[in-house]
Amino acid sequence: MKNAEVNGPAASEPAALRRSNRSLTGKLWFFVAGSFAFGFALVPLYRVLCSVTGFGDQKLLTEAVAAPISAANAAEGANAPTAAGIDQSRTVTVEFMANLPTVGNWEFQPVQKTLQVHPGQLYEADFIAHNLTGHDTVAQAVPNIAPGEAASWFHKTQCFCFSPQSFKRDEQRVLPVRFFIDRALPAYVDRVTLSYTFYDVAAGVAAR
């Protein structure tokens, strides 16, 4: 069906026009490939932006802090007893939230809903998780902190969110998190919410 008549003018184009059409088309396809790659490049870019601003940065939210006294406190309280690192004059309300992505196959809640804390002091809060999926499984808690600005000053020394948790069928367990709030927490923040979403990741773990 290669009919010059049907193809019409395209077939009678001068060779120069064809060459320049081909070259521009090639460049435009290259541009398209670049745009496609840019879509994927947004993923690491987004992570970088998150770690710069602290908003929803999973690395920051799940990182363990070794010592309960931060660098800021250490510099100031180097020749004072450890308790001097605690700011008794200030009280911050910490709220605990537990979320589940689906309903019906887990129970997951904080033991206490709120805690009044002094910056610089180490605290422990407990969450209770109950596996109702009817089989042995693995779950992973993903933390979040609101307001986002507070995330950089909310330090966890121990957390069940650091690694996937194995649960036997019908097992119920208390999951502790140990944390302290940095004394450098901006003064306007008087309330911090720590939330966990508890994902069943058995399928993902098996795939890995």
Give contact residues for another protein (rule: CB under 8 A). 1, 3, 5-10, 12, 17, 20-21, 24-25, 28-29, 31-33, 35-40, 42-43, 46, 50, 53, 55-56, 58, 101, 140, 142, 146, 148, 197, 199-201, 204, 207-208
Which residue in this structure is represented by tokens 């795939």?
207
Q: Residue 72 belongs to what H/E stretch?
A: helix 71-76
Supply the DSSP symbol for 64.
Answer: B
Specify whether the CB–CB gap between 127 and 109 falls below 8 A.
Answer: yes
Closest separation between CB of residue 140 and another protein, Å?
A: 6
Q: Which is nearer to another protein, 180 or 196 (CB)?
A: 196
Question: What number of other Cβ atoms are within 10 A of residue 84's Cβ?
Answer: 15
Closest separation between CB of residue 117 and another protein, Å?
A: 23
CA distance 191 to 102: 28
Question: What number of other Cβ atoms are within 10 A of residue 195's Cβ?
Answer: 16
Closest separation between CB of residue 161 and another protein, Å?
A: 11
Q: Which is nearer to another protein, 30 or 168 (CB)?
A: 30
Closest separation between CB of residue 104 and another protein, Å?
A: 14
Q: Which is nearer to another protein, 44 or 81 (CB)?
A: 44
**What values do phi and psi take at 27, rounded to 5?**
-65, -40
Q: Which is nearer to another protein, 77 or 148 (CB)?
A: 148
